[in-house]
Amino acid sequence: MPTTGTPTSLSQGSRTSGGIGESTLRPDGTLKVTGEFAYSSDMWHDDMLWGHTLRSTVAHAAIRSIDIAEALATPGVHAVLTYDDLPAPVKNYGLEIQDTPVLAHGKVRHHGEPVAVIAADHPETARRAAAKIRVDYAELPVVTDEASATAPGAPLVHEDRADHHSGHVPHPNIVHRQPIVRGDAAGAAARADVIVTGDYVFGMQDQAFLGPESGLAVPAEDGGVDLYVATQWLHSDLRQIAPVLGLPEEKVRMTLSGVGGAFGGREDLSMQIHGCLLALRTGKPVKMVYNRFESFFGHVHRHPARLHYEHGATRDGRITHMKCRIVLDGGAYASSSPAVVGNAASLSAGPYVIENVDIEALALYTNNPPCGAMRGFGAVQACFAYEAQMDRLAAALGLDPVEFRQLNAMEQGTLMPTGQRVDSPAPVAELLRRVKARPLPPEQQWLAAGEEADVRALPGGLSNTTHGEGVVRGVGYAVGIKNVGFSEGFDDYSTARVRLEVIAGEPVAVVHTAMAEVGQGGVTVHAQIARTELGVAQVTILPADTRVGSAGSTSASRQTYVTGGAIKHTCEAVRERVLELGRRKFGTYHPAWATAELLLEDGKVVTHGGEVLAGLADVLEDEAVDLELEWRHRPTEAFDLRTGQGNGHVQYSFAAHRAVVEVDTELGLVKVVELAVAQDVGKALNPLSVIGQIQGGTTQGLGVAVMEEIVVDPVTAKVRNPSFTDYLIPTILDTPTIPVDLLELADEHAPYGLRGAGEAPTLSSTPAILAAIRNATGLELNRTPVRPEHLTGTGTDSSGTGTGTGGRTAP
């Protein structure tokens, strides 16, 4: 197994300072840590109004009437809008299926659904006016899980479905279903020496970004609107907003404002249409900012899931087959559920060679909160389950869990369950080897300081619950596979405009894309690419807006790959133009202009040997080279609806974790001591940034292992903990040391050989921690997040927080 990559093909300019491969600093970093950065919620416009949303207080109800008279009469209120006020024939929106009403029409389908919007001259006035709107709800029975959603006579969340999935789903309350069949799972099961089955439950995680949904809509003189908003994909928003406003897309001009985190939660619209409607109605700028409570209702969450798995293996440790059924709860609206289903199904076998599979994944319509995109996107839930299965299989065979995984690890050339060949490095066994080879952190670190226990190093931390009593260490491993980029035949392109000109005697590159910088560091990396390709020190990244073509979404680990690829591609074209200019002006002075491969470095045209032919300033003079080009990665195919076969994905991304935990086994409290990661990133364009991504993803995986869960009441379908008091995310005291081992095995199909990196670490972190807790406690733990009551046998059955059913081992 090679541990270093094949040389990445730097097209040129590797000697330019601040180019790719360097840990250049983020332009927004200092501003953010000093509190100076302007987030979307900080925007201000003279004369602006404040928008507010009235949301349903029940999960499923017919709306008999809405009385807005008193609210509208409140002094300071400029507008109160309901469904009846929508200006265009299009009244719904949605990423893939337009099933989401802009404002509730006759019924609400989940707790917190928007019913009316108000604009007032003060946010408190708007809130008080909202409280005066009288909505007469006639409550309807709710469906909250597979059993209730598909029972005979179950209420349909969406009647009269006509979307493109409605024809092939077995029940109208199933959004989409994707089977994958390959080989002969039943036949292979007969050859298995051991068969292990398990049922797993994955709780509803929230993206928990810190900057709440917010934006500013400014009506324009041409009857259009300018919208400044924190989002993940400007052009996708635009396509959904304009039809509902009854405006052509060119009259809705969008500009990205400061985004305080996204993680998938800003793929769907929040305040965009509401803010524009209010601005167009009142003729005034309208600002909307959700508070933390509303934010929990203002975006989709990660799909909670129930997963059933069966694996078989021969005595010598080879996996014979896998059968699984993954049921995702999509909640009341489709959002990106169909794509999440495709991911969950196609990645359900994990990074292993399994020739015989029988897979089914589906997403339900229920009256629970809508679920959609979140970092890891369907692959997270599957990884939690298949990695638990790997440990059980290894135990059933009496094999070391890491060696067992290595024995079955996929590599370059392996076929996926979809029949797609993995055609770039897949160093699964090597990643596992690396995390396992790392020395373990010292035992009992709480005693290191002196005679008294340092409670900060113990489960419970400063809460002072143990001085070492009941504390047991556990170690666990996991590895995962994530796709990169949009899949299943989606035209996943990006656009970049690059301008090269001379300003005050210095060559300057201006890069303009619609890429949403959501904190991932895209603007840093994009500037590095331009420096490398154009050999200039000064690069200006223009604000992202819709005056340039779509960059696609900041999700699916894709922006460095796709928009980075678009910038590289456009820079190459700009470079060719510049060299043409140079040949025209100076070609006769030096034969190398005609014969040699020329580079742009340090503001000069040079030969490969380093001989300077001309300065860029002299080549360009007053001329600017300015190009806007689209760029696409290799196309993908849809999965066959019956067999799941198809080259559905662009690229795969792999990470492995070793978790070391200390569990207070009496109190059921967990301290994660260390989370070691090894990940192949193909090429680290900015090592500091990519390590930050990996540590962040790892921590988000930790959150859903031990604390993060939106709790939905199974009877009322109402959210019980919409606050950071009760929806807990890890603090720095919960975050362990995260040593990161970067591999750079180039993918020859990708720009610079890079591999999308942002999501893979979110997958394997959670199952590694679960495995470590199982190792410490001996408990089965088929559910995440693990709560103290699961570790102490003090749970209740009714709340769905039980430890789940156990697996059984066949002889």
User: Least separation, in Å, of the C-beta of 438 and another protein?
Assistant: 23
The answer to whether the bond into 751 is cis (omega within 30° of 0) is no
Judge whether 300 and 268 are in contact, CB under 8 Å: yes
Taking the complex as a whole, the smallest distance from the CB of residue 671 to another protein amounts, in Å, to 7
Its sign, for the CA torsion 330, 332, 333, 334, is: positive
Least distance in angstroms from the C-beta of 454 to another protein: 5
Q: How far apart are CA 288 and CA 591, in angstroms?
A: 62
Residue 122: CB minimum distance to another protein, A: 13
CB neighbours of 268 closer than 8 A, spacing ≥ 6? 95, 100, 299, 300, 335, 336, 370, 372, 373
Give min distance, CB of 136 to another protein, in A: 22
Nearer to another protein, 603 or 722 (CB): 722
Tell me how far, at minimum, the Cβ of 56 lies from another protein, in Å. 16
**Residue number, 193 or 789, with CB nearest to another protein:** 789
Q: In terms of CB distance, is 444 or 794 closer to another protein?
A: 794
Strands 252-256 and 225-229: parallel
SS (H, E, C) 172-218: CCEEEEEEEEECCHHHHHHHCCEEEEEEEEECECCCCCCCCCEEEEE
Pick 412 or 444: Cβ nearer another protein: 444
Q: Is 385 in a helix, a strand, or coil?
A: helix
Burial grade of 30 (CB within 10 A; 0-12, 13-18, 19 or more): exposed
Closest approach, Cβ 287 to another protein, in A, equals: 18
Q: Please tell me the distance from the alpha carbon of residue 532 to that of residue 18, in angstroms, as a whole number.
A: 8
- Nearest approach in angstroms of CB 28 to another protein is 23
CB 238 within 8 A of CB 546: yes
Do 697 and 730 contact (CB within 8 A), yes or no? no
Nearer to another protein, 588 or 723 (CB): 723
Task: In angstroms, give the least distance from the CB of 432 to another protein.
Answer: 29
Q: What is the DSSP letter of 544?
A: P
- Report, in Å, the least distance between residue 698 CB and another protein: 16
Give least dist CB 128 to another protein, A: 9
Are 269 and 240 within 8 A, CB to CB? yes
The residue behind tokens 């680290």 is 684
DSSP letter, residue 710 = B
Convert 97-125 into a string of H (helix), E (strand) and C (coil).
Answer: CCCEECCCCCEECCCCCEEEEEEECCHHH
Q: Which is nearer to another protein, 540 or 723 (CB)?
A: 723
Residue 635 Cβ vs another protein, minimum distance, rounded to whole Å: 45
Element (DSSP H or E) covering residue 697: helix 687-706
66 vs 706 by CB, closer to another protein: 706
- Residues of this chain that bind another protein (CB under 8 A): 127, 291, 293, 449-450, 452-456, 459-467, 469-470, 666-669, 671, 706-707, 711, 720-721, 723, 725-726, 728, 730-734, 787-789, 792, 794-796, 799, 801
> Between 522 and 795, whose beta carbon lies closer to another protein?
795
Nearer Cβ to another protein (630/713) = 713
- Please tell me the distance from the alpha carbon of residue 301 to that of residue 383, in angstroms, as a whole number: 18
Nearest residue (CB) to another protein, 156 versus 711: 711
Tell me whether residue 103 or residue 719 sits nearer to another protein (CB atom). 719
- Cα 526 from Cα 504, distance rounded (Å): 23
Least gap, CB of 66 to another protein (angstroms)? 21
Asked whether the beta carbons of 227 and 253 are under 8 A apart, the reply is yes
Residue 168 or residue 467: which is nearer to another protein going by CB?
467
- DSSP structure string for 60-107: SEEEEEEE-HHHHTSTTEEEEE-GGG--SS--EE-SSS--EESS--SE
**CB 796, min distance to another protein, A:** 5
**Which residues share a beta bridge with 323?**
310, 358
Displacement of CA 195 from its chain's centroid (Å): 34
CA distance 541 to 511: 5
Give the burial class of 547: count Cβ atoms within 10 A of its Cβ; 0-12 exposed, 13-18 middle, 19 or more buried. middle
Least Å distance between CB 349 and another protein? 33
Closer to another protein by CB, 329 or 709: give it: 709
Q: Which is nearer to another protein, 315 or 720 (CB)?
A: 720
Q: Which is nearer to another protein, 19 or 736 (CB)?
A: 736
- Is the CB of 18 or the CB of 123 nearer to another protein? 123
Cβ-based nearer residue to another protein, 418 or 777: 777
Shortest distance (Å) from residue 70 CB to another protein:
18
Residue 761: closest CA among 706, 701, 692, 806: 701
Q: Which of 139, 136, 126 is nearest to 67 (CA)?
A: 136
Instruction: Report the candidate in 708, 705, 679, 688 with the shortest Cα–Cα distance to residue 765.
Output: 705
| Residue 625 CA to its chain's centroid (Å) | 36
Helix (H, G, I), strand (E, B) or coil at 383: helix
Question: Is 327 in contact with 362 (CB distance < 8 Å)?
Answer: yes
Using CA atoms, how far apart are residues 331 and 425, in angstroms rounded to an integer? 37
Q: Cβ of residue 727: shortest distance to another protein, in angstroms?
A: 9
Q: Which residues contact 265 (CB under 8 A, 6 or more apart)?
A: 206, 207, 209, 299, 300, 301, 373, 374
What's the closest the beta carbon of residue 696 comes to another protein, in angstroms?
17
φ, ψ of residue 512 to 5 degrees: the values are: -125, 120
Cβ-based nearer residue to another protein, 33 or 732: 732
Q: Are 488 and 638 in contact (CB under 8 A)?
A: yes
